Amino acid sequence: MVEMLIGSLLWVGIYAVPLLSIWTLLPVLKLYGRKASFTAYVAVAVLALILVPDRELSLFYCCFGWWPAVRPSVQKIHNKKLRLLAKLLIYIAAVSLMLWAVFKILGIPEEGTGWLLKPISWMPLPLSVADLLIIAAGALLFLFCDVTLDGMADAITKRVGKLMRLR
């Protein structure tokens, strides 16, 4: 939660800090299971919506913070191509939900100049070519973070486990 409050001060924090916050749920998942991890996610998401001044950052965490708890179920898909497709579909659904909330709930105006920033007319949400490029780059980042979750989970759990045994 603290990293989200600090992340709201930096523009890049909108997208980087929720990913770091997701990594902090890994020890909870490894040590206490999915139910505790999902409970921690819900608690942090509600607090983020109430306390964090940057609503987009809070929505980003709300749309992606549950991933560590759901990921073990997706990892059980044996076919690598189907697993990758499932991850991309989950990412697209979460981004669509977040963008809908940003445009409809937060009321960000539909504006832009030039062909790169002008909203595409046939899209259900006012997205531009630049937005679609950012979403595609986000998909690559999402897949990269997914790959790093296993290594990060082991490293963080090892460190947290040592700290917990010292007390």
- Quote the crossing angle between the two packed helices 55-64 and 80-100, to the nearest 10°: 150
Domain that holds residue 73: 2-166
- Please state, in angstroms and rounded to a whole number, the distance separating the CA atoms of residues 48 and 21: 11
Total count of residues recorded for the chain: 167
Q: What is the pLDDT of residue 113?
A: 47
pLDDT bin (cut points 50, 70, 90) of residue 108 is: low
Longest Cα–Cα distance of the chain, Å, equals 59
Average pLDDT, the chain: 76
Cβ(164)–Cβ(109) under 8 Å?
A: no
Q: What is the pLDDT of residue 69?
A: 83
- Please state, in angstroms and rounded to a whole number, the distance separating the CA atoms of residues 9 and 1: 14
Number of domains in the chain: 1
Q: What is the amino acid identity at position 30? A: K
Segment 19-38 mean pLDDT? 82
Cβ(100)–Cβ(62) under 8 Å?
A: no
